Structure 1
Amino acid sequence: MKWSVLFFVNSILLGEGLAMDAFSVSLANGLNEPKMGRRKMCGIAGMFAGFQAAMPMLGWICVHTMVQRFQLLSRGIPWIALLLLSFIGGKMLLEGIRGGEEEAVQTKLGLSVLFLQGVATSIDALSVGFTIADYGALMALVCSLIIAAVTFATSLLGLQIGRQFGTGFSGKASILGGVILIAIGVEIFVTGVF
């Protein structure tokens, strides 16, 4: 592909498609912490955007260096996403049922959990490296940065919506957030395996 308007449109649409998982997880995070500050929101959106940029580039590198080995790994991507999101969602669900939501929010949205969420929501973007394999290195990088920008904006939107509704759900936000994360994991698994 050559530099064109179509390249940018395709990159934006690709970014929006990939950002849907990050949007849903952001929504759950916003539901969980309705009083989240703008700085933390930008940090969360930035984490998701960073992973969404890194994964296609990693996939592109794999295509150009070790295609054979990567094909074996691609079969495990839906399983990894299912396990990570089910673990995080299950933990949120249990904490919401037990009623320890205020304490749970402190640990749930820590750096390690956000890292796991970032990996889980962007792991399917790894396979995008195959679709952009015919791009040159600079073009692949620009595509990845566009995906990151779209993911950042989409994640901020999800966090804002979640914050708005989180106040109304008060004590049940953790349960809803956990259910959303588990559903995303199942969706990634089902679409990846079948």
Structure 2
Amino acid sequence: MFETILIALGLSMDAFAVSISSGICTEGLKSRHILRGSFSFGLFQFAMPVLGWFLGSHFRTAIQNFDHWIAFALLVFIGGKMIVESFEPEPTSCDDTAAPQKAGKTDIRNIKTLFALSVATSIDALAVGLSYSLLGKSIFSPAVAIGLITFSVCIVGFEFGKRIGYLIEKRAELIGGLVLIGIGGKILLEHLL
């Protein structure tokens, strides 16, 4: 269970960073926007691992001899991507025109934008679901934990962003990436030893 919580926290860091950015950049962010945004992020973080698990279950037997390497590679890739993103420079403006493709610098009050951000921040969870499937582990409990933790973390992120979020936004992605790489290493060592 502890490993599941760490994975959930690691996966939630992209959504956490986006919620902090939205809290910083969105004027007039109300409680209903925060709840809707947090619910959307949590829902997609729940659904994507389930989808990945079902996709992986169709070809598990073909790759079961090296599935731990795939799980390791996926988690290292996801974690590495998060670490690299944590060092990318942020635009100096919260204006969408200054950074039209930067996920964290958009207005989550717009439903289409919220949907796009929810999908974008949960793609990593799809790969984790695939990893769980390849390892022959159940996905429902971890997916629920991932969704609930993401929901909770995002509420905190939005509120924090409204106050002083600019101080830790990138550190959250760095920590999340390191956690996922550590879990990938643990999975690999368990299978090799």
- The percentage of counterpart residues that share the same residue type is 9
Q: CA deviation at 1:159?
A: 0.4
Q: Please identify which structure carries the higher helix content.
A: 1
Point out where structure 2 has 5 or more consecutive residues left out of the alignment: 105-112
* Residue aligning to 1:91: 85
Output aligned runs, 1:1-194, within 5 Å. 18-34=7-23, 35=26, 37=33, 38-63=35-60, 67-96=61-90, 99-100=92-93, 103=96, 107-109=102-104, 114-115=118-119, 117-129=121-133, 130-132=135-137, 144-194=139-189
Whether contact under 8 Å (1:22, 1:121) holds in the other structure is yes
RMSD between aligned alpha carbons?
Answer: 3.6
CA distance in 1 between partners of 2:142 and 2:41 (Å): 16
Query: How far apart are residue 153 of structure 1 and its match?
Result: 1.9
User: Partners of 2:173 and 2:4 in 1: how far apart?
Assistant: 25
User: What TM-score do the two structures reach when normalised by structure 1?
Assistant: 0.62
Check 1:31–1:188 CA distance in 2 against 1; reply closer, same or farther (3 A cut): farther
What is the CA–CA distance in structure 1 between the aligned matches of 2:177 and 2:93, rounded to whole Å? Answer: 19
Alignment TM-score, normalising by the size of structure 2: 0.63
AA aligned to 1:33 is S
What secondary structure is seen at the aligned counterpart in 1 of 2:66? helix
CA displacement 1:48-106 (0-9 Å, x = unmatched): 1111222333343334xxx133543541333333333433443353233x535554596
Q: Name structure 1 gaps, 5 residues minimum.
A: 1-11, 133-142
Q: CA deviation at 1:14?
A: 8.6
